[in-house]
């Protein structure tokens, strides 16, 4: 590219200079298809409700599976349960020591129960949750030491109803969010595992079988 000096400019003709203009920036209509940000069909409230519903569902499963296996975290007739509840509620035992002294099943149940209540409260109260709100929620949904079977059954039903209400608020966002979570957690197949799956499908798909043979897989 030639470099113009001051002398060149002085000796130039009076003809106007041709100035190269920068190309126009890409307009919205020229954005490459597939790279644009997709707008969610769901509202923020629906997406929040979907997340809370999934948390509630997961925690309910932990709680119900433990109870259905014969574990009862609030049975006063069992020495282990009596010890767990005493340690958990004794004001003179530090929290760090509490977690060491209680049983593994009690830890699982307590954590699931607390997270269930927190998910429900987040939707009702927002970010700020008071101690009184948490206690009220626990009275409604969480088994307390000494609860009799009818009370435990009633709280289990209320948990299910609360989950179904949250799920209904989320509408189709619940199904889409749950599917996305499952997809992200699916294991990554090795080449051998993927080849085995393709070979199995090829037994029922002549076109696929021909392609695999041509590729040297079969």
Q: Is 50 within 8 Å of 58 (Cβ atoms)?
A: no
Helices marked H in the chain — which ranges?
A: 6-11, 44-68, 79-89, 95-101, 104-125, 131-141, 149-170, 172-185, 191-202, 206-214
Cα–Cα distance, 208 to 184 (Å, whole number): 27
Would residue 88 count as lying in a domain?
A: yes
Q: Which two tokens stand for residue 100?
A: 């060491």
Is the pTM of the predicted complex or chain greater than 0.75? no
Section 47-70 average pLDDT = 95
Query: How many CB atoms within 10 Å of residue 162?
Result: 22
Give the pLDDT confidence of 98-115 residue by residue, as tens digits: 888 999 999 999 999 999
Would residue 21 count as lying in a domain?
A: no
Would residue 158 count as lying in a domain?
A: yes
Give the whole-number percent of the chain exceeding pLDDT 70.
77
Tell which residue, 57, 176, 68, 178, has the closest CA to residue 112. Answer: 57
Would residue 212 count as lying in a domain?
A: no
SS3 assignment, position 66: helix
Would residue 178 count as lying in a domain?
A: no
Give the whole-number percent of the chain exceeding pLDDT 90.
40
Contacts of 189 (CB under 8 A, 6+ apart): 197
Would residue 186 count as lying in a domain?
A: no
Q: Is 120 within 8 Å of 129 (Cβ atoms)?
A: no
Number of structural domains found in the chain:
1
């Amino acid at each position: 590219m030639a470099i113009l000096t001051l002398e060149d400019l002085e000796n130039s003709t009076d003809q106007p200079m041709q100035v190269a203009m920068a190309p126009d920036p890409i307009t919205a209509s020229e954005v490459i298809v597939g790279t644009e940000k997709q707008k969610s069909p769901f509202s923020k409230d629906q997406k929040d409700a979907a997340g809370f519903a999934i948390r509630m569902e997961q925690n309910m499963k932990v709680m119900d599976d433990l109870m259905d296996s014969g574990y009862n975290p609030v049975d006063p007739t069992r020495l282990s349960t009596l010890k767990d509840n005493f340690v958990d509620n004794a004001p003179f035992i530090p929290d760090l020591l509490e977690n060491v002294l209680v049983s593994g099943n009690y830890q699982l149940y307590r954590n699931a129960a607390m997270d269930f209540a927190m998910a429900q409260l987040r939707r009702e109260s927002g970010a700020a949750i008071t101690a009184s709100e948490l206690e009220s929620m626990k009275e409604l949904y969480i088994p307390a030491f000494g609860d009799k079977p009818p009370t435990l059954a009633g709280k289990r039903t209320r948990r299910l109803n609360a989950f179904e209400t949250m799920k209904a608020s989320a509408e189709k966002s619940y199904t889409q969010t749950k599917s996305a979570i499952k997809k992200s957690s699916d294991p990554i197949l090795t080449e051998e595992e993927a080849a085995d799956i393709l070979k199995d499908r090829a037994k029922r798909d002549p076109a696929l079988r021909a392609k695999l043979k041509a590729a040297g897989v079969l």
